[in-house]
Each structure stands twice: as structure tokens, then as C-alpha cells.
Amino acid sequence: MSLSATTLAGNVRYGIRTAREVTEATLSDLATRDKAYGCVTRLLKDRALRMADTIDARIADGEPVGPLAGVPFGVKDLFDVEGLVTTAGSTVLNSNPPATADAEVVRRLVAAGAIPVATLNMDEFAYGFATENSHYGTTRNPRDPERLAGGSSGGSAAAVAAGMLPLTLGSDTNGSIRVPASLCGVWGLRPTQGELPLNGVYPFASSFDTIGPFTGTSKDLRLSFDVMAGRNPEDDLPDTAGLRIGILGGWFAQNLPPALADGLRNIQSFLNITRTTELPEAARARAAAFIITASEGGNLHLPRLRHRAAEYDPATRDRLMAGALLPAAPIIQAHRLRNWFRGHMHSTFSEFDVLLAPSTPAVAPRIDQPTIMVGGRPVSARANLGLFTQPLTLAGFPVLAAPLPPSETGDASPESRLPLGIQMIAAPGKEAVLFALAAQLENAGLLGYPVRGSAPQKEE
Amino acid sequence: MNGSPDSAEAAELARVEQDVAVMARQVGLTVPGFCMPGVVANTQLLRSYTTLVDDLVLPDTCEPAFGYTP
């Protein structure tokens, strides 16, 4: 049975299970079950077992081991792991030297007792919402393996949804944590931009690059974030009574699947939310995020694209090339629009503490038919799954991606049982408010989708 | 001359392809033939977003949000 990171750490600390037992079971699980999903690119067996033995020895000696003692975790393939080449989901970087140290956030998790056990699949160079990778394969959605896991941190989201790992790390430039979290039915966090250090993380578009955790519970999400951010997970969370909560309308109220609209309505009713608000020019905000991302990603790869274009994943390569050709005027205009949009966001958050919005306009698309319905017509999933995440990227405010519970009122079709998620947005630095509200809604049964093996599975 | 929508679309694609070739030369990039259809499609998409961004009139005092802090 899958256990949360919090429970696992407690079991290890109090001697109910050893870290070695947990690590061996996790490695065995990944080696066998992941064949169905394609989340894992490399298992870190020797290092993981060595670290587990160290933790067990420290516990035996009565030494402190940290709040994540013995918790196995995986990292998206763009985090440095000491001794491994950081591939960023590509083969283009294969001749780079191995990393000489862990990425800073990996180091912080390890210092808290967590054990890295695997690197995880992604869209090449994090440029996509699908985790269809021509080098390392397609990651399948554990809720329905005929469907995409979403991306670009698809391996990270799917490994948690499958109940194979209680904690993984991903990156979010335009929605790469929030989109797969929604499609796989797990928790994810895009923290305030700049809150977590990017040392040892391969870049994509530095104006927006952000990293964060995926977990199966909101409590684990908070614990892992607090450890990585150097905050105290024992601190009290803010009281949710009196929070000024609103629903985002306009752009964010269009193209909603019925189950998502129902889920938002249930939350609205439970919290007695009476106010909706709109962000100005959300479509242009999304466009600006698109342009800045394409230009920065294109510029980053231009030296290699001049000589080694054929080595790239074709989908990534063509996007990067087009981005590298953008003239200066729209890029600068997009950055001016970003400044303007940020002002409006701060103005909005002078009236609200939390805003709620959908994460994706559709459930996970089928791998053999990667389209979603937007505006009543089928469009490319790869280009449109970020419809609701990209405008918020522009502001850099913290966003907690939360799974709605399995729909009880939908029709009998398998699609009606697939996960969908919402975005909970707060002002910069206010992650604790999001964790408090998330916990309240999870306790009320209005958020949270059980990971496989954690409870009787409803999605089968 | 054929004035059908298909031919108009083909002419537009040819124009974008020429633009791509020119812009690529400006940054020292040669777009291989096997990449051209994908690069053209992505360039068209980016142009639609460029239009959206350009059409918002911003005050002269609105500065770019570059993140550099000395």
C-alpha cells in the first residue's frame, strides 16, 4: 500500500520500518510497475541503498534524521544529481560531464533525510505539455495508460499518481507542474518565482523558470516545500476564517469541462464564496508568456541548433528555432506587458487573499488522439493544455495545483472519472495561506484524488 | 491564377518560409529542409501571439519587466 511521505518518515523515525526496507521496496516497485507508465529514466539504486543504511545507522545511534527520514523521492531529469549527466530530457547534452553536486533543492531534501531513488521523464528541455519524448518515450497516465500524463514534468506527476513515489520534483515555466498535476490527479506547487533556488537546475526560460514538488496529499506538499524553502514545517498555518477568496471569471470561466465547473461550484458553496473577479487581458498575458518563453528558450539553444539540429526531438527543435528567430520588438513589448500585468495582479490581491481557477480545459487526452475541445472545436492538446496556466505564469505569483475528487455526479463514461484540477493563487510569499486552505478543503473531501494503492481505487 | 483558399494558404506559407529563411540568416542559423514545415507552423503561431501583444497600447512609462538587479 502506498503511504504518504509524512507517514513513511514517521514509520522510519519510530522504527516501524527501516529506511532500507522502504528503499528496497520502492526500487522494486519502480523496476516492475513503471514498465506500464514510463516515468523513470534512471534508477539510483546504489546511492539510495547507501543513504538508507546511513539513515538507519543514525537512528540506531539516536541521532536526529530530519522530517523526511527515509522518504524516497524522484527528480525530473533537469535536476543535477551528483555523478550523473543532467540530460534535461535530451540526448544533446550526453557528452556533458556528470554533475559534481546535487541541485540545491535536492541537497536540502537529502539533508532532511529524504532519499533520491530515480530520475524522471519529461518533454525535451521542458518545452511541452505532453511528456512525449522521442528519446526516452511517452509517459503514460496511471489513471488511464492510454492517455497522456501531461507535461513537461509528466514523469514526476505520474510516478506520484501511480503510488510509486510519495514525493517528486518538477519544474514549471508555463504550467509544467500544474498541467500534469491536473491530468494525473496529484498535488503540485509552483511557488513564488525566486522562492526556491535554481542552482543545479537546467534552465528553459529564465524569466519564468520555477521548481516545486508533487505529492499525493496537501500535507506532504507543504512539508516538502517548507524543507526546500528553509521554512519550519512545524509552524502554525494561518487561520482560513476570514480569508477573502474569489473565483476567477472571464478567460478562466470559459471552456470548462462540466466536472470541473461542478468541483469549483462545490468549493464555492462550501466556503460561501460570493465574489468573482477577472484579470485584465488574460489572452494577451498568455501571449506574452508564450513569446518570452519561445525567445529565451530559442536563444539558449541557438548555438547548438546551428550545428546539431537533427539531434533534437523534432517537436522541441522546431519550436526552439521559431523562438530563436523572434525579433526584439515583440519580446520587449511582452516584457512591458508583464510589468503592466503584475501591477494589475497586485491590485487584485489587495482585495483578495486567494483566487481559484481551473488548471486545464480538459481531462488527459488520448495518446493516439492528442486533441482537446476549446471553443467547441478540437485543437492541439500540446499547444492548448496551458490555456489557464500560462497567463498566471506571467505574474510569478504562487499557485497551488490541487486535484478535485473523483466525480460522483458524472456520466458512466470512463472519461468522467478522470482527474481534473484547480489552481489556487495567492500573493507573492503567501504559500502558507494556500496550504491552509488546501488542507481545509482536503479534509472536507472537496479536494484530493487518491493515489493508486492508497485507498480503494475508484478510477478502475 | 487560382484564387482558392488553398492557394492563398499556400502563398502565405511560402511567404512565411521566405521570412524564416531571412530571419534565420540574420542569426547565423540554417533551417534544414526537414525542419522548415515545423518552424513555419511555429512562426505563424508566434506571429498570432505577437499581434495580440502588440495591439495592447501601454503607457510610455511602462518599462520592460527584465529581472536584472545589479
Compute the radius of gyration of chain B from its Cα atoms. Answer: 17
Q: Is there a contact between A261 and A380 (Cβ–Cβ < 8 Å)?
A: no
- pLDDT tens for residues A69-94? 999 999 999 999 999 999 999 999 99
Q: Name the nearest CA neighbour of A304 among A291, A321, A290, A292.
A: A321
**Cα(A253)–Cα(A273) distance, rounded to whole angstroms?**
15
Q: Is A176 a catalytic residue?
A: yes
Question: Which chain A residue has its CA at the smallest distance from B62's CA?
Answer: A336
Q: Is A347 a catalytic residue?
A: no
Out of A2, A4, A76, A171, which one is annotated catalytic? Answer: A76
Q: Do A291 and B45 touch (CB under 8 A)?
A: no
By residue count, chain B amounts to 70
Tell me what pLDDT residue A387 has: 96
Interacting residues of A309 by C-beta distance below 8 A, sequence separation 6+? A317, A321, B32, B35
Q: What is the mean pLDDT of chain A?
A: 95
Tell whether the model's pLDDT for residue B6 goes beyond 50: yes
Cα A91 to Cα A4, A80, A86, A352: the distances in Å are 34, 15, 10, 45
ipTM over 0.85: yes
Q: Do A339 and B24 touch (CB under 8 A)?
A: no
* Beta bridge partners of residue A89, listed in sequence order: none
Out of A152, A156, A224, A295, which one is annotated catalytic? Answer: A152
Of B29, B38, B64, the CB nearest to A336: B64
Cα A348 to Cα A245, A351, A427: the distances in Å are 11, 6, 9
* Amino acid, single-letter form, for residue A235: D
Inter-chain CB pairs, A–B, below 8 Å: 106
**Cα(A460)–Cα(A144) distance, rounded to whole angstroms?**
9
Cα A157 to Cα A150, A183, A415: the distances in Å are 8, 9, 19
* Beta bridge partners of residue A453, listed in sequence order: none
**Cα(A293)–Cα(A403) distance, rounded to whole angstroms?**
26
What is the pLDDT tens value at each position of chain A, 460 positions in all?
689 999 999 999 999 999 999 999 999 999 999 999 999 999 999 999 999 999 999 999 999 999 999 999 999 999 999 999 999 999 999 999 999 999 999 999 999 999 999 999 999 999 999 999 999 999 999 999 999 999 999 999 999 999 999 999 999 999 999 999 999 999 999 999 999 999 999 999 999 999 999 999 999 999 999 999 999 999 999 999 999 999 999 999 998 999 999 999 999 999 999 999 999 999 999 999 999 999 999 999 999 999 999 999 999 999 999 999 999 999 999 999 999 999 999 999 999 999 999 999 999 999 998 899 888 889 988 889 999 999 999 999 999 999 999 987 656 677 888 999 999 999 999 999 999 999 999 999 999 999 988 754 333 3
**pTM for the whole thing?**
0.96
Tell me what pLDDT residue A414 has: 74
- pLDDT tens for residues A167-221? 999 999 999 999 999 999 999 999 999 999 999 999 999 999 999 999 999 999 9
Question: Which chain A residue has its CA at the smallest distance from B21's CA?
Answer: A325
**Cα(A215)–Cα(A233) distance, rounded to whole angstroms?**
15
Q: Is A430 a catalytic residue?
A: no
Out of A171, A176, A207, A224, which one is annotated catalytic? Answer: A176
Tell me what pLDDT residue A407 has: 81
